[in-house]
Amino acid sequence: MSEPLVVLDGVEKRFDDFVAVRRADLTINAGEFVAIMGPSGCGKTTTLRMLAGLEDPSAGTIHIDGKVMNGVPPHERDTPMVWQTLALFPFLNVRENVEFGLKMRGVAAPERGRRAKDWLERMEIGEFAGRNIETLSGGQKQRVALARALVTEPRLLLLDEPLSALDAHLVIRMQSVLTRLQRELGITFVYVTHSQSEAFAMADRIVIMASGEVAQVGGAREIYRNPANRFVAEFVGRNTILTGSVEGARLKTALGSFTMPGQGTQPADGTQANLVIAADRLQIGRGPLEVENTLRATLISEEFVGAFVTLFLEAEDGTEFKVQLQESALGALDLSSGGTFHLGWRGEQAHLMIEDAR
Amino acid sequence: MTWVLRGYTALLFTFVFAPIFFSMMFSFNSARFPTLPLEGFTTHWYETIFADEDFWRAARNSLIVSVSTGVLATILGFCTAYSDYRYRFRGQGAYLAIILLPPTIPLIVMALAMLAWFSKVGISGQVWTIIIAHTVLTAPFAMAIIRLRLNQIDASMEAAAWNLGASEWRAMREVILPFCRPAILSSLFLTAAVSFDEFTIAWFVSGLNKTLPVHVLEIVQGTIDPQVNAIGTLVFLTSMTLVIAAQLSIFFRLQRSTR
């Protein structure tokens, strides 16, 4: 299970002056569900296209299954992709779409038909085999696209934001279809998305990319609780970030001096560092709070997401604080009367990030 | 408002089709001159042209020229449309503009230029000279029709074919061509129709290998002969069939994809 299937070794991709991917090193193990996540233009799709052979790296090497893949054209690879636009063939019916990959590999017609039928049934769309693509719903097309990609039984499946065109309720459905499929088949999924919820819901490991670089690789929890740098801290979750300089066991910031969580090695005094406090770990109250770090802030706005509420507050120097709490806890706060609130957090629940060059 | 539009449409169709209708009517009229009232029904004029060797030679030439032009112009049009779709290169705008240029040149200018050029290289007056000239004239139409279709293609569709194991040639055969099929058929019919009707260039470069429109003019130059109405009717029906076929090949495609 843990042998490496895909290895990116110093991979770089330049388009004229623009560097899309910069010195990416990444190992993806066989059987893993890896999500590559980042904002538009971060290089995630280019990375995926390089795995499929649609782009050739400008530098570095890509190994798949132990073989160097640089210069291998797409049709000589076994790296089917599920496309953002699905890219189903409108002039072929559902069954013919699914058979396409087998036909290109010279599989005889009866065998093709049998395997396509198996996959259509597995994806629960067997009854649509003879239908025209345009007559299917978004979710059904999605399943055809999956069947078409998986029918050749590859070891690696590439997915490029496959759920971005679906309605929210279908996204949840397809997420469970995808995770179940991946577990059952035991093959490797590389899933590119800009959606944090999709990545966190499905992936074993998440690769965060920013301006062409791999910003962090890790499990959902690790990335959420221990962001490696400012970019990840801002991109993932709802974090409040305080910047200051180390002074003994405390961080001195414009808003005061706060305790730092225990570190393996104590950073030297004067080191620039960031304190990252997740929104669900900030406490809020009308009166003083019983924690070691406190300050006061004014409410700016609130945002409801079902049972949770995120409050946006501003401290005296303009720093934005985000606090997430249960909707039921709002009553005690009496938001409508305005004024200032007390904010606080326990020292060990913050995350310390030594300032990097960015 | 509605009746104004209706009246306008009726008027438009009258102007377009009345002359053709009268020409058809007079082709079955026994009088020598196209005047009303009609004299009597006859198929004499058709019999005359069917017995005329010159007519058959011209019809054969027209058929060869229009079919060959349709095929050549469509191939050429497809290749230019595909190169424009597939690649991004310096001067692409100029490339397109130059390709679309021929129909904007006055026919008489183009015809004279072609005659001069063909005589200079010594290939004037052949059937295939007309084919070359008509291909130059109609390839831009083919390109425009096929380019419209390629604009509708999913940006990832060709890559999806490669991704599933199709080489570039295979993807062309299995994905791009089937996708463009309605436009390719439409282009075949339309360019053939334009070529079948085209007179100016054909007259200049055809020499002794006359096409039907050239033949018609030569008859008219001599006398007023109702044969012309008969030939006109046949030419009209052929062109209309081609144009309608061009429309249908697009229409059926649309119907299939919205079914």
Consecutive 10-residue averages of pLDDT for chain B (259 residues) = 89 88 80 71 80 84 92 96 92 90 88 87 81 92 93 92 95 94 91 87 81 81 76 84 81 53
Closest to B248 measured CA to CA, from B185, B154, B205, B195 = B185
**How far is A65 from A209, CA to CA, in rounded Å?**
23
CA distances for B253 relative to A86, B71, B182, B243, angstroms: 21, 21, 6, 16
For B126, other C-beta atoms within 10 Å of its C-beta total: 15
For testing contact with chain B, the best of A76, A83, A91 (most B CBs within 10 A): A91
**Count of CB pairs separated by less than 8 Å, A with B:** 74
CATH number for the region B53-257 comes to: 1.10.3720.10
Contact across the interface for A91 and B181, Cβ inside 8 Å: yes
Tokens of A204: 């074993």
Does residue B165 sit at the A interface (CB-CB below 8 Å)? Answer: yes
Write the DSSP symbol of residue B69. Answer: H
State whether residue A166 is helix, strand or coil. coil
The pLDDT, as a whole number, for residue B239 is 83
The pLDDT, as a whole number, for residue A249 is 82
Q: What is the pTM of this model?
A: 0.82
Ramachandran region, residue A301 (left: φ > 0; alpha: ψ -120 to 50; beta: rest): beta
The pair phi, psi for residue A272, each rounded to 5°, is: -75, 135
The pLDDT, as a whole number, for residue A358 is 42
Residue numbers in B near A103 (CB within 8 A): 174
Residue numbers in B near A104 (CB within 8 A): 161, 164-166, 170, 174
Tokens of A132: 């025209």
Q: Strands across the sheet with A67-68, in order?
A: A18-29, A4-15, A59-64, A67-68
The pLDDT, as a whole number, for residue B258 is 43
DSSP run (H or E) holding A214: strand A213-218
**How far is A143 from A166, CA to CA, in rounded Å?**
12
Closest to A95 measured CA to CA, from A34, A136, A139 = A136
User: Are A242 and A277 contacting, i.e. CB atoms less than 8 angstroms apart?
Assistant: yes
The pLDDT, as a whole number, for residue A356 is 58
Contact across the interface for B164 and A148, Cβ inside 8 Å: yes
Contact across the interface for A100 and B154, Cβ inside 8 Å: no
ipTM for the whole complex: 0.84
Kindly give the pairing relationship between strand A272-278 and strand A351-354. antiparallel
State whether residue A343 is helix, strand or coil. strand
Which residues, 6+ apart, have CB-to-CB distance to B172 below 8 Å? none
CA distances for A58 relative to A18, A19, A21, A47, A89, angstroms: 12, 10, 9, 12, 31
- Strands, DSSP E only, in chain B? none
Q: What is the mean pLDDT of each run of 10 residues along chain A (358 residues)?
A: 84 90 91 93 92 93 92 93 93 94 93 94 91 90 94 94 87 91 93 91 93 90 87 86 85 86 76 87 86 87 85 87 86 79 87 68
User: B 135-154 residues with CB below 8 A of A?
Assistant: 154
User: Are A9 and A31 contacting, i.e. CB atoms less than 8 angstroms apart?
Assistant: no
User: What are the DSSP calls for B136-161, one per residue?
Assistant: HHHHHHHHHHHHHHHHTS-TTHHHHH
Closest approach of B129 to chain A, Cα-based (Å) = 38
Q: Which residue in the set B155, B163, B167 is minimally distant from A81, CB to CB? A: B163
Does residue B167 sit at the A interface (CB-CB below 8 Å)? Answer: yes
The pair phi, psi for residue A25, each rounded to 5°, is: -115, 130
State whether residue B217 is helix, strand or coil. helix
The pLDDT, as a whole number, for residue B125 is 75
Tokens of A246: 């180390």
Q: Which residues are bridge partners to A284 per DSSP?
A: A343
How is chain B split into domains, by residue range?
A: 1-30+37-42, 53-257
Write the DSSP symbol of residue A291. Answer: S
Tokens of B15: 């102007």
Closest to A310 measured CA to CA, from A336, A274, A282, A286 = A282
**How far is A127 from A292, CA to CA, in rounded Å?**
63
